[in-house]
Chain A
Amino acid sequence: MTPKTLPSLIAVIDVGTAKTVSLVGQMIAGQARMLSFSERPTKGVVKGVVTDLEQLHACVHEVVHDVERGAGRSVDQVYLSLGGPAAEGERVKGLVMVPARDGKVTQKDLQEAVASARRQEPPAGRTTILYMRQPTMLDGKPVASPVGMTGRRLEVSFWRVTMEEALVRLRVGMINGMSIRVRDFILSSHAAACAAAQDADKHGGVLVIDMGAGTTDWILYYKDHILCAGSLPLGGEHLTNDLSVALRVSRETAEDIKCRFGSGVHREADLNQTIWKDGDRGLGDQQFNRGTITKVLSLRYQETLDLVRKDVMRHLEGIFPGHGVRLDQHMLPSGVILTGGSANLADACEAVQQSLGLTARVGAPVFDSESLRKPEYAGVVGLMRAAITDAPPAARRPRGLWDQIRVLFRF
């Protein structure tokens, strides 16, 4: 499948813990236009794990039906986002000692290096869902295009994402059940970054944290490339749950209070504020100390950020062992970009500043539809963007050896 045969109708589906969204667009004169959009609350997924396949299937079916009706055409293939703790990433490397006497790198050397990286089998029972390019190194220095340059050690590396085969089959089977083909997988954190981060951010270095309802996915870009990515089984639902336990209120009430009075930072002044649950002061209305609310939420929010930092550091130490890498403004000049529903929490950026010591901003996608310019839609908008540009080579799954080589030189 080459970019030339890209269908004019592009459909993406993002199944989250809280909501399932789908977007259908079309390339008209080289410009992407949104045709239809559908959003439904997800059923049958807890903390990013499918617990009730039947319910989930019904929900995805409804969403697809909605977008097809909106677009006036049936969808025959989709891009599907995958993420969550089930999708594990690791770095795979391929190394070739340049055989030519003059040390000139040939295309064959590059092929060999790529092939040797690809030869590494994923762990038993897991399947590779995508490879993302990392810089090619020639004698330890990053080079954009090594062919024709001289050196001795040619090293290519990929960020490989694997997932349990059964889980992938489950998702693909669900889509295939509607006579729709899964054209490709896109890592959900990469999708969020496509919508929220600019090229300049990725060039300097940026950490995108996509905190959804059930999972928090993060991805780190450094010098234009994906350095590493990961995910935690924690999200906005945990904020709501903590609040519902602490205030002894229902899940719905806790969610409402979180959105209206929540904050990522606890301040002394909050202790002097009292809030009403319903606000009508009618029968059954309850008063709460805002200090309690912000204390509970800030503890959970900052703990989640702390766990993200630990996860990032664990990956970085694996990539640069013994270098003493520090997650600071020097490494990430663009700081942190927050996406996902939990980025709407008040003072979220300040909490990041406090926990990670990095500047932060909320990444709302730039998009022609105003209703989608919210951080919770960064995932689906980014998915569309990645699909339209046929996904940057990084996010494409190289299928055959030639596909990989083509991918290697397409930027």
Chain B
Amino acid sequence: MERTPSILLLGLGGAGCSMVSRLSSGLTSEVGALFVDTDERSLPAGRVTLQLGRQQTRGMGTGGEVGSGLAAAESEEAALRRALAGAHVVVLVTGLGGGTGSGAAPFIAACASDTGATVLCFATMPFSHEGERRQREADQAATVLAGRCHGFIAVHNDLLLQQVPADAPMPDAFAAADAWVGGAIRGIAAAFAPGALVSADPSALRSILSTRGSPTLCAFGAGEGQGAAMKAARAAADCPLAHGPGAVTKVASLFVHVSGGLELTSTDAFEAVAAVRAKFGGETSTVLCARTDPALAGRAEVSVLGASLPVPRAPAKGRKGAKSGKGDESQTVFPFATDEAVRRGFFGGAPLTIVDGQDIDVPTYIRRAVRLPSGY
């Protein structure tokens, strides 16, 4: 086994492969990339690839059949286990709603977790224009998949694409969507690489993501110029990944990675972490990693991972109050109000109305994390 904990970025299915191939160019050498699909055409040439279900699909896609996606993965179990062996962290990137993603992802996640790796899954959900059937299949697959991964993050492309200006060209829109996911993955990868000022190892990540099956908090933010780290922390608090449907915004345990140029001071880094904690919690434990990188001159990045153990409300408030009003400061700065009474407006005191698992008294734009036009 190598000295550096190894991370395997696994792209599964058409959507997963294309996302990993867009991401992998910007990642460090510690991160290996593996492309897995039934469709020969989506496997990039010259990379480590694994084609599933040659017998079942004859090199074509699964045509959206979940059953055939699963059968294809099962037929290549031995090869999959060989490819997964030795990785400490497996980051599974896939798109749900199709055949390969929805069918094979739970199986591959189970295989990876059998080998002892910490499995983190980023799953893109179908666009809302893709119809109810895909949506339903994606939801079902997400439930199964979340139970088999240590961390499961649903990436709602609808939401990510809303964050870019309406007139942005298509590739730019997707690049912006990739930036959120890629940033988070880069943060995790960098945390384990040698040379970090405050380092962590995969077991620390594992301790945060110990409970399987619960939604995971994931956020990424970047900032530059004066106070870059603080700007990055605010951007992370504002990250659409952490505000999608079903996402959690208060967690017990946090994993925070701050990286910046050589000018990054410890004060900057700790202030950024404090801002992240004020937003997301992390009262039980916060694993902190920090590193400087000459390539990041004048810029800073903050990535956050957390498990969704709910923080008991009352003690959390008391402790925040004791922390010199840092929490109050964040209330005015962040567009996402966290206090329930503020979010629910004049329904604050009324009983909750839950429809489809959401408290529908909270304004739609807050629940969908839609950025409102600013300025008058």
Contact = CB atoms under 8 A, between A and B. Distances in A.
Given A238-B360, A245-B342, A288 B376 contact: yes
Given A233-B353, A241-B347, A268-B166, A246 B376 contact: no
Interface in A215-264: 232-234, 237-238, 241-242, 244-246, 251
Interface in B324-376: 337, 342-347, 350-351, 353, 355-356, 360-361, 363-366, 368, 370, 372-373, 375-376
Interface in A303-347: 303, 307, 310
B365 A295 contact: yes
B345 A299 contact: no
B365 A296 contact: yes
Of the candidates B337, B365, B366, B375, the one having the most CB atoms from chain A within 10 angstroms of its own CB is B365
Q: Which size class do A's interface residues fall under?
A: 20 to 34
Contact of A238 (B356, B361, B370, B375): B361
A46 B342 CA distance: 18
Contacts of A307: 355-356, 360
Contacts of A288: 376
| Majority secondary structure of chain A interface residues (helix, strand, loop or mixed) | helix
| Majority secondary structure of chain B interface residues (helix, strand, loop or mixed) | loop
Contacts of A51: 350
B353 A242 contact: no
Contacts of B361: 238, 241
Contacts of B166: 268
Interface string A271-296: 10010000000000001110110011
A295 B360 contact: no
B375 A241 contact: no
A193 to B, nearest CB: 24
A385 interface: no
B345 A292 contact: no
Of the candidates B337, B355, B368, B370, the one having the most CB atoms from chain A within 10 angstroms of its own CB is B355
Contacts of B347: 46-47, 237-238, 241
B346 A295 contact: no
A118 interface: no
A147 B231 CA distance: 78
A292 B373 contact: yes
13 contacts: A233-B360, A234-B355, A238-B361, A241-B344, A245-B363, A251-B346, A268-B166, A271-B373, A288-B376, A292-B372, A292-B373, A299-B370, A307-B360
Interface of A: 46-47, 49, 51, 232-234, 237-238, 241-242, 244-246, 251, 268, 271, 274, 287-289, 291-292, 295-296, 299-300, 303, 307, 310
The 3 closest A-B pairs by CB, nearest first: A242-B363, A241-B345, A291-B373
Interface of B: 166, 337, 342-347, 350-351, 353, 355-356, 360-361, 363-366, 368, 370, 372-373, 375-376
